[in-house]
Chains A and B, each alone.
Chain A
Amino acid sequence: MAKEEKLKRPDGREKEELRKIEAKVGVIKRADGSAMFTFGGSTAIAAVYGPRTLHPQHLQDPETGVLRCYYDMTTFSVSERKRPGPNRRANEISFVTTKALQPAIQIENFPNTAVDCYIMILQADASTRCAGINAASLALANAGVPMKELVSAVSIGKTGDHLVVDVSKEEEDFTVMKDGKEIKAATDIPFAILSRSEKISLLQLDGKINSEDLKEAIELAKRACKKIAEIQKKALKKVKDEA
């Protein structure tokens, strides 16, 4: 018995349709590299500084350069003012973002240095960490950091019976009535995939999912990230027109 209820997404999108994406490189002139990336209502800006000398000295690695990513949200990015400064969620996202970008960069030839990547969310409408990773990947390339490939990120969700690509805030907040109570019934799975080798560098799960759906989610994510990688590529190539 197939799941017959036709998928109706709150904004009318198809299952695999991404929200409107805007990607622009070189938005922060003073940084070594920078980029802005938008998924519909979620906007992230990333600025990269480095490779540069790492202070304090005890954090230096004599065998390679070190990548440090910092994720934070502006106070006005959400409808209820977010208190400034990183919180636990931001620290966790900073950590996974660093891990997601690390396999793509090659800074072994810059021992004792750091490459710092600062990500700010200007407007939040779900999938902010994915927007952040996409922006950071562009900023790193723009900064001339040696990279094996680009990193693209997208979130796959499950609302009710259907898997969807690029979760929006409404879908993230999807609830169902159970025993007269409204309970959260959405599943959010952010992915980050390396553009050329198609390896997954970030995979998180928020909610419930069965193994069949997870396998399908991986396939959906790979397809979506291919599209996103193309958009990232175009944004980088556009630098010349503005020169």
Chain B
Amino acid sequence: MEEENKIEEEIKEIPREIVVPGEVLAEKDFLPGEGTRREGDEIIASRFGLLEKSDRLVKVIPLGGAYIPRAGNTVIGQIVDVNFNGWMIDVLAAHQAFLPVMECFGYINKKDLTEVYTFKEIIVTKIRAVKPRSVELTMKEKGLRKLEGGMLIKINSTRVPRIIGKAGSMVKIIKDETKCNIIVGQNGLVWIKSDENDVEKEIIAKKAIELIVEKPFHIGLTEKVKDFLQKHKKL
């Protein structure tokens, strides 16, 4: 079983081809997916990124760039303003996001919303809808709450799937080895808090995440991360 899992991980890590805007990716029989367009008989890349070719679909996975908010994404944000009916949150997207009072649980003092969330506080929230001029958030789901203490780091949003790993496998390794609670926002913000209130452990988790961000294409990355965490455990 270990062997099989290892092989699966290896297969996933076969380096994909990098494509540039304007490059021809495929011909007739394919369908243009995200990041591509069709011109006559050819499928052309509309972004800089990694080429993903499956049976009939051609996609370009972005390699970098600003976070593009999507409905259903769980993100971490910071309160930047308080209105009479909600809070304005910075989620590192092109637009600020809005969290209406109606999307929160519990009793809320309508006269002073800062009692619930005030300026500069960090919350983990979910995107309910994306509109042309704004992003709407909700707190009405399991696990969404204010985050206190701990450490917040920023990584490129395109690296988030790599940090999480298949079915959360990668981030689980870091969590287990450092005994930290880690929440990864789809927008690239990652919150780390040691269960033992140990800043040293939080720093190790941070370094492990940075290691993954720097070398996302490495074959055997999982092993490297495990080795790194083992080494630091002994120190």
Chain A residues near B (Cβ < 8 Å):
32-33, 50-53, 62, 65, 104, 106, 110-113, 141-150, 194-196, 229, 232-233, 236-237, 239-240, 243
Knowing A52-B94, A111-B133, A146-B46 touch, does A237 contact B20 (C-beta < 8 A)?
A: yes
Chain B residues near A (Cβ < 8 Å):
15, 18, 20-23, 35, 37, 44, 46-49, 62-66, 94-96, 132-133, 158, 214-217
Residue of A with least CB distance to B46 = A146
Besides the contacts A32-B65, A113-B95, A142-B64, what 14 more A-B pairs have beta carbons closer than 8 Å? A50-B66, A50-B94, A51-B94, A110-B94, A141-B48, A143-B65, A144-B65, A147-B46, A148-B37, A148-B44, A233-B20, A233-B23, A236-B20, A237-B18
Which of B48, B64, B132 contacts A111, CB < 8 Å?
B132
Which of B23, B66, B133, B214 contacts A143, CB < 8 Å?
B66
Residue of A with least CB distance to B19 = A237
Q: Is the CB of B21 within 8 A of A243?
A: no
Residue of B with least CB distance to A65 = B94
Which of A112, A144, A229, A237 contacts B66, CB < 8 Å?
A144
Q: Is the CB of B217 within 8 A of A240?
A: yes
**Interchain nearest-CB distance for A120 vs B (Å):** 21
A145 to B47, CA, bound (A): 7
A103 to B216, CA, bound (A): 33
Knowing A110-B94, A239-B18, A243-B215 touch, does A32 contact B46 (C-beta < 8 A)?
A: no
In the complex, what residues of A have CB within 8 A of residue B96's CB? 53
A239 to B63, CA, bound (A): 10
In the complex, what residues of B have CB within 8 A of residue A148's CB? 21-22, 37, 44, 46
Q: Is the CB of B133 within 8 A of A141?
A: no
A143 to B157, CA, bound (A): 12
Q: Is the CB of B18 within 8 A of A236?
A: yes
In the complex, what residues of A have CB within 8 A of residue B95's CB? 53, 112-113
A31 to B60, CA, bound (A): 22
18 interchain pairs, CB-CB under 8 A: A104-B21, A106-B46, A112-B95, A112-B133, A141-B47, A141-B48, A144-B49, A144-B65, A144-B66, A144-B158, A145-B65, A146-B21, A147-B21, A147-B48, A148-B37, A195-B22, A237-B18, A240-B18
Q: Is the CB of B64 within 8 A of A240?
A: no
Q: Is the CB of B64 within 8 A of A143?
A: yes
Q: Is the CB of A144 within 8 A of B62?
A: yes
In the complex, what residues of A have CB within 8 A of residue B217's CB? 240, 243
A65 to B133, CA, bound (A): 12
Residue of B with least CB distance to A195 = B22
A243 to B63, CA, bound (A): 11
Q: Is the CB of B21 within 8 A of A149?
A: yes
Residue of B with least CB distance to A194 = B22
Q: Is the CB of B47 within 8 A of A146?
A: yes
A173 to B95, CA, bound (A): 48
Residue of A with least CB distance to B21 = A147
**Interchain nearest-CB distance for B133 vs A (Å):** 6
**Interchain nearest-CB distance for B98 vs A (Å):** 13
A146 to B48, CA, bound (A): 8
In the complex, what residues of A have CB within 8 A of residue B214's CB? 243
A145 to B35, CA, bound (A): 10
In the complex, what residues of B have CB within 8 A of residue A232's CB? 20
In the complex, what residues of B have CB within 8 A of residue A104's CB? 21
A236 to B62, CA, bound (A): 13
A111 to B135, CA, bound (A): 13
Q: Is the CB of A196 within 8 A of B22?
A: yes
Residue of B with least CB distance to A105 = B21
- With most chain A CB atoms within 10 A of its CB, the pick from B62, B94, B215, B217 is B94
In the complex, what residues of A have CB within 8 A of residue B46's CB? 106, 146-148
In the complex, what residues of B have CB within 8 A of residue A239's CB? 18, 63
A147 to B23, CA, bound (A): 11
In the complex, what residues of A have CB within 8 A of residue B20's CB? 141, 150, 232-233, 236-237
**Interchain nearest-CB distance for A232 vs B (Å):** 8
Q: Is the CB of A144 within 8 A of B63?
A: yes
**Interchain nearest-CB distance for B100 vs A (Å):** 20
A172 to B28, CA, bound (A): 47
